Amino acid sequence: MTFRRFVATLQEVEKASSRLAMVRLLAEAFRELPAEEVPLAVNLLQGRVAPEFEGLEFGVAEKEAAKALALALGRDEGEVVQEVKQKGDIGAVARERLPEQEGGLGLKHVYDELRAIAEDSGPGSQARKRERLARLLKAASPAEGAIILRIVTGRLRLGVGDATVLEALALAFLGDRAKKPLLERAYNLTSDLAHVAWLVMQGEEALRAVRLEVGKPVRMMLAERLPGPEQIMEKLGPHYAEHKYDGERVQVHYDGRRFWVYSRRLENITHQYPDLLQALAEVQSRPFIIEAEAVVTDPLTGEMRPFQNVLNRKVKHLTEELLEKYPIKGFVFEILFEDGEPLIELPYTQRRERLEKWFKPHERLALSVKRYVEDVRQLTEFFDESIEAGCEGLVCKKPDGVYEAGKRGFKWVKYKRGIAGKLSDTLDLVIVGAWLGRGKRAGSYGSLLAATYNPDEDRFETITKIGSGFSDEDLGRVLPQRLGPYRREERHPRVWSLLEPDVWFEPAQVVEVEAQEITLSPNHTCAFGVVKEGRGLALRFPRFVRYRDDKSPEEATSSAEVVEMYKNQWPS
Ligand code: ATP
């Protein structure tokens, strides 16, 4: 396929009025592509040349890209850099300045060149990247150049989520959007959309045969919430509860030689945990995939420190000093693979048995503390003990529950401490719009429109306006900076809203929000019509708590969860 045709599809997708229209446009383009180009297109339309977990970045800052554009145009560097700065959009400058071209670039050629740019590193790479990009731009039409520059500078942002791509692939190659779950399973096990695209073209059998692989992150299983011990006992019956540690969840892969550490968002964060990997290497020599909560401990007393301490280690170059000041202990709670054998289909009790056999003591490692609880009294006692021990509460686990990759379900239920007069848990919401501020907040945002995620419809449903909890710094600088790149003229097709804010955003930024209660509302679309006809759910007295950059928009609180929270907010 020509890159031109691909670019035309992207332009249509950007203008699409509904999610379904996006799916259809993408499916049509996928069908037109030669098979070997489908995986490439899947990566490109997410602005990448490799799955996210490979961490392959272009390493081209906007200024460098502007210099490459200057080179392609034969213009003065400083001038073009200035023009890009003024316009604030390098794509727009390319569209205006590049000359029309006859013929056109091949999609594969563009992909190969972009990949070469990403892979080039080391001394002199900056100049080589710039020259390669300039050559590509020189052969590109204005529209092609604009997309190429948006891709390399990380500004493509079509808001095409993974679910949309999977659905489009199902429609294109299995003839039916409803077959998405088959693709989802393969995706949950490999976290590689381009690989799933490759498989779906081989047919349903190939999809069914997918297994997890050491080195490729498994999309993590998540916990549902319930308000209290009674509801948990009712839902799970007698079960195993485990301490809920307050650190960073890590998935560690080991193939016998090499380690990989993946975050909740499946980013490769191996370099952030040399001490944890050292400990694992000292006690294990055979391949495995485990999950643990990485918690910072006090270097003197060994006591657990709160989550914020983990953030102190998130620097580019982790020094010995930081490692000593913020030592890590890994509380291991899952084993997904051991010595050639995937374990995720085993029930919890058997996985835990395998985990306990696999585990070997080390001062930087511990097994999550667990207990079998048979009634509310035992559960609350164990909960109190967990708080005493410095944990956030419990994760209650269904004894026969398999590890459901990429799913949030009731096989795990979290039990956290409630705060009097507040909902017992916070919500993680996606910012989809904003109203401009007045008075003290002039020039910034007055309030934000926040949404939950509805995975069945793959859309974002509004639940509240948030105006409080932000510091002056947030309002004046941080929010415009964080949200600016996602601003759009019109509502994003995956957002469902009855309100009309002053500005819209692509669903990207997740924030944690606390509130006093959940109420019915005719103005919000969260779970609209589920509890009551003509009514959605809304938050009363919402307050911003913190940014949740570790969560993707699809990992925000789901509309179904809010329904559960609504029903459970006044436990009898
Ligand atoms: P929260 O917002 O409550 O911090 P979350 O939204 O990040 O949690 P949840 O699915 O709600 O994630 O809660 C489960 C999380 O609890 C896991 O992702 C993991 O990081 C953490 N955790 C701590 N201890 C355990 C444990 N023993 N078993 C499973 N998960 C645990």
Q: What is the pLDDT of residues 56-109, one digit of tens each?
A: 999 999 999 999 999 999 999 999 999 999 988 899 999 999 999 887 899 999
Q: Report which ligand 1 atom has the smallest distance to the Cα of 249.
A: 20
**Which residue in the list 67, 129, 180, 244 is annotated as catalytic?**
244
Q: Give ∠ CA 557-560-564 in degrees, rounded to 5.
A: 100
Q: Are 328 and 307 in contact (CB under 8 A)?
A: no
281/421: higher pLDDT: 281
427-568 has the same fold as 222-416: no
Domain coordinates in residue numbering, the chain: 222-416, 427-568
Percent of the chain with pLDDT over 70: 98
pTM for the full model? 0.82
Q: Concatenated DSSP letters for 393-426?
A: EEEEE-TT----TT-EEEEEEEEE---TTS-SS-
Q: At residue 113, does pLDDT exceed 70?
A: yes
Q: Which one-letter DSSP state was computed for residue 355? A: H
Pocket test for ligand 1, best of 224, 249, 551 (most atoms within 8 A of CB): 249
Q: How confident is the model at residue 524 (pLDDT cuts 50, 70, 90)?
A: very high
Q: How confident is the model at residue 44 (pLDDT cuts 50, 70, 90)?
A: very high
Q: At residue 572, does pLDDT exceed 50?
A: no
Pocket test for ligand 1, best of 219, 221, 245 (most atoms within 8 A of CB): 245
How confident is the model at residue 375, as a pLDDT? Answer: 97
363 alpha carbon – ligand 1 mean position (Å): 23
433 alpha carbon – ligand 1 mean position (Å): 28
Q: Are 463 and 537 in contact (CB under 8 A)?
A: yes
Pocket test for ligand 1, best of 385, 411, 414, 427 (most atoms within 8 A of CB): 414
CA-proximal residue: ligand 1, atom 20 (nearest): 249
Q: Which residues pair with 508 in a beta bridge?
A: none
Q: Which residues of 156-193 are buried (b: 16+ CB within 10 A; e: fewer)?
A: bebbbbbbbbbbbbbbbbbeebebbebbbbbbbbbbbb
- Decide if 465 is catalytic: no
Q: At residue 489, does pLDDT exceed 90?
A: no
How confident is the model at residue 419, as a pLDDT? Answer: 46
Q: Report which ligand 1 atom has the smallest distance to the Cα of 242.
A: 27
Q: At residue 136, does pLDDT exceed 80?
A: yes
Q: Where do the DSSP E strands lie in 282-426? A: 288-296, 328-338, 341-342, 365-367, 370-373, 393-397, 408-416
Q: What are the CA-CA distances from residue 379 to residues 53, 373, 446 (Å)?
A: 38, 6, 43
Tens digits of per-residue pLDDT, 429-458? 999 999 988 777 777 888 999 999 999 899
How confident is the model at residue 424, as a pLDDT? Answer: 67
How confident is the model at residue 423, as a pLDDT? Answer: 62
194 alpha carbon – ligand 1 mean position (Å): 29
Tens digits of per-residue pLDDT, 388-400? 888 989 999 999 9
CATH class of the domain at 222-416: alpha beta
223 alpha carbon – ligand 1 mean position (Å): 7
How confident is the model at residue 369, as a pLDDT? Answer: 98
CA-proximal residue: ligand 1, atom 29 (nearest): 395
47 alpha carbon – ligand 1 mean position (Å): 30
- Assess if CATH 2.40.50.140 describes domain 427-568: yes
Tens digits of per-residue pLDDT, 229-279? 998 999 999 999 999 999 999 999 999 999 999 999 899 999 999 999 999
Q: Concatenated DSSP letters for 141-209?
A: -HHHHHHHHHHHTT-------HHHHHHHHHHHHHS-GGGHHHHHHHHHHH--HHHHHHHHHH-HHHHHT
- Give every CB contact of residue 371 below 8 A, 6+ residues apart in sequence: 240, 241, 378, 382
63 alpha carbon – ligand 1 mean position (Å): 40
CA-proximal residue: ligand 1, atom 22 (nearest): 244
- If one counts every other C-beta atom within 10 angstroms of the C-beta of residue 365, the result is 21
Q: Report which ligand 1 atom has the smallest distance to the Cα of 223.
A: 10
**Residue 224, φ and ψ in degrees, nearest 5:** -85, 170
Residues with CB under 6 A from ligand 1: 222-223, 242-245, 249, 293, 333, 368, 395, 414
Q: At residue 422, does pLDDT exceed 60?
A: no
311 alpha carbon – ligand 1 mean position (Å): 17
Average pLDDT of every residue of the chain: 93
Place of tokens 């390399």: 152
Q: Are 254 and 283 in contact (CB under 8 A)?
A: no
Q: At residue 540, does pLDDT exceed 90?
A: no
How confident is the model at residue 217, as a pLDDT? Answer: 97
Q: Are 326 and 306 in contact (CB under 8 A)?
A: no
User: CB-hemisphere CA count at 13 Å for 84?
Assistant: 24
Q: At residue 186, does pLDDT exceed 70?
A: yes
Pocket test for ligand 1, best of 333, 397, 403 (most atoms within 8 A of CB): 333
Tens digits of per-residue pLDDT, 188-232? 999 999 999 999 999 999 999 999 999 999 999 999 888 789 989
